Amino acid sequence: MKTVFHAKIVVTLRKSILDPQGKAVEHGIHALGYDNVNELRIGKFVELNVDARDRQEAERICREVGARLLANPVMEDFTVSIEEVTHV
């Protein structure tokens, strides 16, 4: 049976790398008066469907795609979460 997994992948700059865009937005939030907001980082959000035998295979494929294309390991990290499952 084919299963469709819906995955969400979040790509962020590595913690050690300065995120000037995040800093600028954080300043904007402070300008609105929210002094209690900090450590803001901006990243990319990717969602996709993947046909796989099981959740593990779906996750493996997403990790491969993440490492080979969606994120550049020199400067970025990424997380994968398998969100929904639809049996077809």
Q: Considering the complex, state which of residue 57 and residue 77 has its C-beta at the smaller distance from other proteins.
A: 77
CB 77 within 8 A of CB 12: yes
**CA-CA distance, 6 to 1, in Å (whole number)?**
16
Total H helices, total E strands in the chain: 2, 3
Q: Give the binding site for other proteins (CB under 8 A).
A: 13, 16-18, 20-21, 24, 44, 69-70, 72, 74-75
Closest distance of CB 75 from other proteins, Å: 5
Closest distance of CB 53 from other proteins, Å: 26
